[in-house]
Amino acid sequence: MRGAVLTGLNEPLEIVDDLEVIEPRAGEVKVKMHTTGLCHSDLSVINGTIMQPMPCVLGHEGAGVIEAVGDGVTDVSPGDHVVLSFVSQCGNCYFCKRHEPYLCEKGTQAMATAALYDGTPAFSRGGKPVTQMSGCGTFAEYTVVPAGGVVKIDDSISLEAAALVGCGVTTGVGAVLNTAEVKPGSTVAVIGTGGVGLNVIQGAVVAGAEKIIAVDLLDNKLEMAKQFGATDVVNAGSGNPVAEVQSLTEGRGADYTFEVIGMAATMTQAYQMARRGGTAVMVGVPKMGELFSVMGFFPVYENKAIKGCWYGSADTRRDFPEYLDLYKEGKLKLDELITREFTLDEINDGFEALKNGEVARGVVRYD
């Protein structure tokens, strides 16, 4: 079958047609991929910001149809439409039992090793293992994942729109509703309004935020931000974005701020843009080893919280259907997030478009 494989850092993905995938074993499912989104985290694996063992089939945001299930799988059956979760839920570990399945021990191990629960990946080429990003590997026509790594969805929902729920939507909307628990009437500032940041903005609209300030370097992204609900925009390239957010909030700073880029400098800005008693949420994934600085005095004196946000603090079984209901009700814009569609052969062009800031989300369709 066909797939896109990363064979070396900063190399274009290699489009291959000799990729093999195992049949699902006990507790695993095989998915025929329909659509996959191109997320900045994939780009971060390509450039070494996020480490995954290579060769690796990238892709962690996708939707498709169950092709086969292994022994003991009862939640889904062949023909079911599913969204893949980039942290699978085992249901049994310390975190799953405490309703923090986004931290699932087995799911986290699968993510770190880019493999299934037994440590081996589903893919191979010429008899040699090929890993699967985040335990998913959605840049292939078929993938095999743990049963707790898929969530069944309503057949009537477009699989293109549903694919985005696998990462960008769940991370962005969840950062607002689950991680920060933004209160109605609040002021929110979002630094970085790409595929994930736009979902923070629309999450803030759902939460009833009154003022939503979008901060980005690109005017086209700030235009998109307005379409997704930003009430004010700040171009970070022209002036001091912290001062601009302060002046838009009577000098106080925002109640909640979100860093959605993954850079130390903007993490510090997110901290500084939050008001006393406010909350700064870190969503972007910085390069390992990068430090961000906040003077020790301030979180104390300002009674300010710094929160990390992994996968929108999601319970995918609860949140995927909820976000798709909001989409059906017209409260979440998913179709509008897809700026361009690419074929698998064009996937490297898709990443160029993401790098250049041309797209909110690009997607690859497999039909």
Interface with ligand PAD by CB under 6 A: which residues? 39-41, 44, 167, 171, 191-197, 215-218, 221, 236, 260-262, 266, 283-285, 309-311, 354, 357
CA 156 to chain CA centroid, Å, is 23
Q: C-beta of 9: minimal distance to Zn ion in Å?
A: 19
Nearest Cα residue to 292 out of 276, 308, 279: 308
Q: C-beta of 28: minimal distance to ligand PAD in Å?
A: 23
Q: C-beta of 351: minimal distance to ligand PAD in Å?
A: 10
Using CB under 5 A as the binding rule, whether residue 6 contacts Zn ion is answered as no
Using CB under 5 A as the binding rule, whether residue 35 contacts Zn ion is answered as no
Binding-site string for Zn ion from residue 109 to residue 148, where x marks contact by CB under 5 A and - marks none? ----------------------------------------
Q: Which is nearer to ligand PAD, 66 or 257 (CB)?
A: 257
What letter does residue 104 receive in the DSSP assignment? -
Task: Give the three-class secondary structure for 114.
Answer: coil
* Helix axes of 219-227 and 197-207: crossing angle, nearest 10 degrees: 30
Binding partner selected for residue 200 from ligand PAD, Zn ion, none, CB under the kind-specific 5 to 8 Å limit: none
Q: Which is nearer to ligand PAD, 21 or 162 (CB)?
A: 162
Q: C-beta of 244: minimal distance to Zn ion in Å?
A: 28
Q: Which is nearer to ligand PAD, 191 or 201 (CB)?
A: 191
332 Rama class: left (phi>0) / alpha (psi -120 to 50) / beta:
beta
Using CB under 5 A as the binding rule, whether residue 354 contacts Zn ion is answered as no
Q: C-beta of 324: minimal distance to Zn ion in Å?
A: 18
C-alpha–C-alpha distance, residues 358 and 339, integer Å: 8
Binding partner selected for residue 36 from Zn ion, ligand PAD, none, CB under the kind-specific 5 to 8 Å limit: none
Binding partner selected for residue 309 from ligand PAD, Zn ion, none, CB under the kind-specific 5 to 8 Å limit: ligand PAD
Binding partner selected for residue 354 from Zn ion, ligand PAD, none, CB under the kind-specific 5 to 8 Å limit: ligand PAD
C-alpha–C-alpha distance, residues 273 and 144, integer Å: 43
Cα(first)–Cα(last) distance of the chain, in Å? 13
Q: Which is nearer to ligand PAD, 85 or 171 (CB)?
A: 171
Token pair 């004196």 is at which residue? 301
Q: What is the DSSP string of 211-224?
A: EEEEEES-HHHHHH
Binding partner selected for residue 249 from Zn ion, ligand PAD, none, CB under the kind-specific 5 to 8 Å limit: none
What letter does residue 60 receive in the DSSP assignment? -
Nearest Cα residue to 308 out of 258, 244, 242: 258
Using CB under 5 A as the binding rule, whether residue 50 contacts Zn ion is answered as no
Binding partner selected for residue 261 from Zn ion, ligand PAD, none, CB under the kind-specific 5 to 8 Å limit: ligand PAD
Gyration radius (Cα) of the chain, Å: 20
Overall size of the chain counted in residues: 367
Q: Which residues contact 242 (CB under 8 A, 6 or more apart)?
A: 269, 272, 273
CA atoms within 13 A on the CB side of 183: 6
Q: C-beta of 28: minimal distance to Zn ion in Å?
A: 22
Q: Which is nearer to ligand PAD, 9 or 26 (CB)?
A: 9
Q: C-beta of 14: minimal distance to ligand PAD in Å?
A: 22
Tokens of 215: 């901060």
